[in-house]
Structure 1
Amino acid sequence: MGKWCFHVISTYLIFYETPAYGAHHFSLHPWNSFDQVNAPERKPKWVDELHQKQPLLDLDTVILAINSSAAADKVFETCMGPKKSTVCFSTVYMFLAFTWQLFAVSVASLSMLFYVIVQFLYRLLKYASDSWVYIISVKVFSSSRINIRIRCSQILYWPIFLQDNGTRSLSSVEYAEKAALHKHSMWSSLAVDVLLGNLFGLALLYHAESACMWVQKFASDITNELLRSGCVWLMGVPAGFKLNTELAGVLGMISLTAIQIWSTIWIFLGFHFIYFIRGLAISGIIFGVTIPAALIKDLIALATLHVSTLHWLISLLYSTQIQALAALWRLFGGRKWNPLRQRLDSYDYTVKQHIVGSLLFTPLLLLLPTTSVFYIFFTIMNTTISLIYILIEITISVIHATPYIKIFLWLVMPKRFPSGIWFEIVSVWSDCIYSHEDISSPADKLQSEKGLTGERASVVVSFLHSNFLTVGQIVMPHYNKILSGKPRTLVATAAYGVLTGRRIPSTIGTDLPIFPWMLISYKEYWRLCPDSILACYRR
């Protein structure tokens, strides 16, 4: 008796939208390293078995081929040269080419002038880097110096960013999209920064006198109502605590003297403060909002220098007193700190050492509440100022790190940010069994003699779709990069500094787009500028 032999023929028809640059493409993974789903700690057994199986096809290769199909055709046409047409030699085409070339020369001339001025100032500052004026200026205006260098580098690097990235970026739509976003990220950040700077600068310039009066009144209220009143209150009986009168008087008089000296200097500078407000507004209009923000941060540090100095002096007194009390307490327990091994060792003290330690421990312990009260007061003031520094620093970093071009493109066309693929099964059907009529090989003839040969055909039709990133998934990786767990370290460091009297950090250390300084010849830079603009026109 013969037997049936079946061959299963499976046909998969996948319909998809042809990827095109600036419209749509496919991607198996999100562009940014963003975890969409938190994986459980313990995975089921079948998940591990599934990962151990050999995949039937490499989806990465398939998606790359889909994204490269249309892009490779365009690259091939570009390399072969455009088709000749009489339209190319029309008057309109020649006028547009001439206008674009004139625009390229004009922009290159302005950039060249800026390049010459910036390089001259850079060499001048480098020549004067050993002078004490330069060293003090760098320490006082450190944040402004960093942001001014970033802005100058962004303006200098624009022809580098507009250069062609080669045929590899054009061989795939996904590569072309990533290269374009990287290329346009810098000028979009610069444009938004300048736009915000114009809004801030025009508003500040219009209300310059009101802003000047408000700042002077605010500084006067802080000095009189908070600092002076606080020091006088601490010299008495603060919150009902009985402090050491002599030590409180000394600390209070030192604080009041420093406040009075700084207040006198501030009154003298207040007559010229209106010019600084106008200069701040003009700098925002020309260079963007990050430059005046950095200047405000540095000037707040300069205006509160007396508070920082008093906090440092009282912190030094408080930390020394705490360390002395800790050492004397270890003396009573017969232990000694070993700085080489970083541990406590046993030690036999003499009677004289115990007596001297007792005589020192008692007054230090009794004077600790007075020192602690002044330390807490100035720590609160200094911590508030440090929080303002950190807030301004985070604002500057967020302005630099926000992907404005990605947000704009996501609002216009979310399809440009794919995140994974999925198949929509439209139809599945199977044909009935049918026999082979054409038998050519000897094995088939032998098989046909034993029985019948048939095939079962199955057809699957599906549409290929993409998931898309949300605006939060696009933006958050950039913000996580500038912070990267630094707030936790800052809180731990600040808490340890408050308890031990150490220095409290006034900066969070966020990441900024630092570029290496460009030092090329003027001729080379002049050649790069028009070539970059004309390359954009040719594309």
Structure 2
Amino acid sequence: MSTYVVFYDPPLYNHHYFSLQPSNSYEQENSSFKKPKWVDELQQKESSFDLDTVILAINCAAAAKRPLERHLHAKSSLQFSIVDRCYSFMWSLLAVSIASLSTLFYMTFQFSYKLHSLGLQLWTSDVVSKIFMTSYNNAHIRCCQILYWPIILQERGVGFLSNVEYEDKVALQRHSMWSSIAADIFLGNVVGVALLCYADSACSLIVNLARDVTNNILRTGCVWLMGVPAGFKLNIELTGVLGIVSLNAIQIWSTVWFFFSFIFIYVVKALAISGILFGGTLPAAFTSDLISVASCHVSTLHWFFSLIYSSQIQALAALWRLFRGQKQNPLRKRIDSYDYIVKQHVVGSLIFTPLLLLLPTTSVFYVFFTILNTSISFIKLLIEVIISAIHATPYAKIYLWLVKRKRFPSGIWFEIISCHINSTDCPDKNFSESFDLPTKILERSEEVVVGRSSVLVSCLHSNLMGIGELVLPHYRNIFSGFSQSVLASTFHGVLTGTRTTSTLKAGLPSPLPWMCIPYRKYWHLCHDSILTCRQLPPCAS
């Protein structure tokens, strides 16, 4: 009777496990030996069992006994040594300290959340929340991550501990949150300390930059448009009106900026302190909102000219349909035929001619402020992408991938160690060969090599994920708002004067629901979570 023997390294927590997840980037090297015919025949056979069950049993075989051994060891150890007592006391002291500190933060967050809930009843608080929406969303995400750390550290039960694959994934999920917070706080400390040390220089640099943009771009650009820009002959009266309106708006905002510039140094220091305490994403989000506030005059002028431009385009389109004997049916959303009278054609011609001749004058102002507003929106979008990348980067996975790549399997393959086949395709001799085999390789040997195979010995190995295959899935949510339809609608809005650029948003992590539990219960939850970490299995060497 034929025999098939498989050797494999037993899966261990924090070391490796087997997975049937296919690998897209990893390809096993082809061997110089030619594959026997029975391998090709094996690929054409139907599988007689579920290989997922086999892999599940392999991952559970070596780990199922560990929770039971730990439970029996806890019951059998009746006497503790002095070292064990000191170790337990240190863990208890650490649990009490961290639980007390976390409860203090929890009370502060709950008090701030209640104040915000009460403030939403006032229209001023609602307006402030809308203006600083990016900062509010990032602050909510960071506060929820800090509040939920005892929930993440809770042990998931014996069902997860008895399976190396599930246990490893739970451990990665547990480490992903605190590693993201730690990396963000480290980045915030670097940026915050630099801002605190050079606050005056940063403040003067930003004020000078704002003054140069106002004088050299906005004022100079408006004066240039009031003349003959790029050789275009524009309507002098209309350019004078539009230019004066733009210059007055810029002057009003410059005056307001001058009166509030003395508090800018405190804003820079507040950004630095918030970055040191809560990480770099919060001051980055607040900077994005401050850019929106500082460029309010540009966005207002862009809205004003886009309103004029879009109304003019819509009027010209309606008059053009009048000349063609058509009208728009808004109920059925189609173009219908219609017989206009002579007076309507005459009035339409009198309106169409000046609108068409004034369109270039309106267009140059609209294009100028569209370019400025788009540049500002691109800067804010770049900041949002950086914030989302900081949140989405799996720091713990990247570190573990550099240290132990076996913790990230992606498919399986077999290394043939010995093969005795009584056939002309494979002589009766031992050879070593490595190649990927299908899932049907574990079938009964009577069905695999009927009448030809006597002994087949192989070793089970795992394909390993590449760094791109590991990291790229976490970045998909960042560009979820950049679909083809959204980009097309944005481009169409720019051409027609519709304000649709705000639809481009970088994806942020899903916000967790706000936690509202009694303070005592939260303290016990944090205390038990720290003690649970003591009972977690040690890292395997």
Using structure 1 for the length normalisation, give the TM-score.
0.89
* 1:353 corresponds to 2:344: yes
Tell which deviates more after alignment, 528-537 or 126-135.
Answer: 126-135
Q: Which amino acid aligns with 2:459?
A: F
Q: Distance in 1 between matches of 2:235 and 2:142?
A: 54
* 1:377 corresponds to 2:368: yes
Matches within 5 A, 1:305-320: 305-320=296-311
Percent of paired sites with the same residue = 59
1:21-41 CA distances to partner (integer Å, 9 max, x unpaired)? 0001111105xxx85599xxx
Q: Which amino acid aligns with 2:379?
A: I
Q: Distance in 1 between matches of 2:107 and 2:501?
A: 38
* 1:63 corresponds to 2:48: no
Q: Which amino acid aligns with 2:310?
A: S
Q: Distance in 1 between matches of 2:402 and 2:108?
A: 39
- Look up the match of 1:510: 507
**Cα displacement (A) at 1:463:** 1.1
1:124-144 CA distances to partner (integer Å, 9 max, x unpaired)? 111121112201110111100
- Look up the match of 1:470: 466
Q: Distance in 2 between matches of 1:52 and 1:179?
A: 37
Q: Which amino acid aligns with 1:180?
A: A
Q: Which amino acid aligns with 1:467?
A: N
Aligned partner (choices 194, 198, 214) of residue 203 of structure 1:
194
**Cα displacement (A) at 1:83:** 6.7
* 1:29 corresponds to 2:21: yes
| Alignment length (residue pairs) | 495
**1:163 aligns to what SS in structure 2?**
coil
* 1:173 corresponds to 2:164: yes
- Does the CA contact (< 8 Å) of 1:189 and 1:399 recur in 2? yes
**2:476 aligns to what SS in structure 1?**
helix
- Does the CA contact (< 8 Å) of 2:481 and 2:505 recur in 1? no
Q: Which amino acid aligns with 1:358?
A: S
Aligned partner (choices 4, 14, 33) of residue 6 of structure 2:
14
1:63-118 CA distances to partner (integer Å, 9 max, x unpaired)? 111110011011222343447458x6111110110011011011111111111111
Tell which deviates more after alignment, 456-465 or 140-149.
Answer: 456-465
Tell which deviates more after alignment, 54-63 or 473-482.
Answer: 54-63
**1:499 aligns to what SS in structure 2?**
helix
Q: Distance in 2 between matches of 1:457 and 1:500?
A: 74
Matches within 5 A, 1:117-516: 117-429=108-420, 458-484=454-480, 486-506=482-502, 507-516=504-513
Structure 2: state its 5+ residue gaps.
Answer: 28-40, 424-450, 537-541
Are residues 50 and 318 of structure 1, via their aligned partners in 2, closer, same or farther at CA, if it must alter by over 3 Å? farther
Q: Distance in 2 between matches of 1:342 and 1:85?
A: 80
Are residues 252 and 92 of structure 1, via their aligned partners in 2, closer, same or farther at CA, if it must alter by over 3 Å? same
Tell which deviates more after alignment, 456-465 or 356-365.
Answer: 456-465
- Look up the match of 1:42: none
Q: Which amino acid aligns with 2:500?
A: I
1:199-245 CA distances to partner (integer Å, 9 max, x unpaired)? 11111111111111110111011000000000000001100111011
Q: Which amino acid aligns with 1:519?
A: C
**1:486 aligns to what SS in structure 2?**
coil
Are residues 126 and 537 of structure 1, via their aligned partners in 2, closer, same or farther at CA, if it must alter by over 3 Å? same
Q: Distance in 1 between matches of 2:485 and 2:197?
A: 41
1:284-337 CA distances to partner (integer Å, 9 max, x unpaired)? 011000000000000000000000000000000000000000000000000000
Q: Which amino acid aligns with 2:121?
A: D
- Look up the match of 1:450: none
**2:233 aligns to what SS in structure 1?**
coil
**1:426 aligns to what SS in structure 2?**
strand
- Look up the match of 1:77: 69
Aligned partner (choices 488, 495, 518) of residue 521 of structure 1:
518
* 1:532 corresponds to 2:526: no
Are residues 489 and 214 of structure 1, via their aligned partners in 2, closer, same or farther at CA, if it must alter by over 3 Å? farther
Q: Which amino acid aligns with 2:88?
A: A
Q: Distance in 2 between matches of 1:457 and 1:341?
A: 73
- Does the CA contact (< 8 Å) of 1:16 and 1:465 recur in 2? yes
**2:2 aligns to what SS in structure 1?**
strand
**1:271 aligns to what SS in structure 2?**
helix
Are residues 394 and 305 of structure 1, via their aligned partners in 2, closer, same or farther at CA, if it must alter by over 3 Å? same
Tell which deviates more after alignment, 243-252 or 200-209.
Answer: 200-209
- Does the CA contact (< 8 Å) of 2:388 and 2:506 recur in 1? no
**2:457 aligns to what SS in structure 1?**
strand
**Cα displacement (A) at 1:518:** 0.5
Q: Distance in 2 between matches of 1:526 and 1:511?
A: 29
- Does the CA contact (< 8 Å) of 2:99 and 2:527 recur in 1? yes
Q: Distance in 2 between matches of 1:60 and 1:472?
A: 25
Query: RMSD value over aligned CA atoms?
Result: 2.0
Q: Distance in 2 between matches of 1:463 and 1:184?
A: 32
**Cα displacement (A) at 1:53:** 4.9
Q: Distance in 1 between matches of 2:183 and 2:232?
A: 54
- Look up the match of 2:445: none
- Does the CA contact (< 8 Å) of 2:26 and 2:464 recur in 1? no
- Does the CA contact (< 8 Å) of 1:490 and 1:508 recur in 2? no
**Cα displacement (A) at 1:54:** 2.6
**1:258 aligns to what SS in structure 2?**
helix
**Cα displacement (A) at 1:420:** 0.6
Structure 1: state its 5+ residue gaps.
Answer: 1-8, 39-48, 433-454
**1:481 aligns to what SS in structure 2?**
coil
Q: Which amino acid aligns with 1:510?
A: G
Tell which deviates more after alignment, 53-62 or 94-103.
Answer: 53-62
**Cα displacement (A) at 1:11:** 1.0
Q: Distance in 2 between matches of 1:52 and 1:429?
A: 22
**Cα displacement (A) at 1:16:** 1.0
- Look up the match of 2:87: 96
Q: Which amino acid aligns with 2:304?
A: L
**Cα displacement (A) at 1:513:** 3.2
Q: Distance in 2 between matches of 1:457 and 1:295?
A: 70
Q: Distance in 2 between matches of 1:218 and 1:317?
A: 30
Tell which deviates more after alignment, 51-60 or 368-377.
Answer: 51-60
Using structure 2 for the length normalisation, give the TM-score.
0.88
1:390-420 CA distances to partner (integer Å, 9 max, x unpaired)? 1111111111111111001001100000001
**1:95 aligns to what SS in structure 2?**
helix
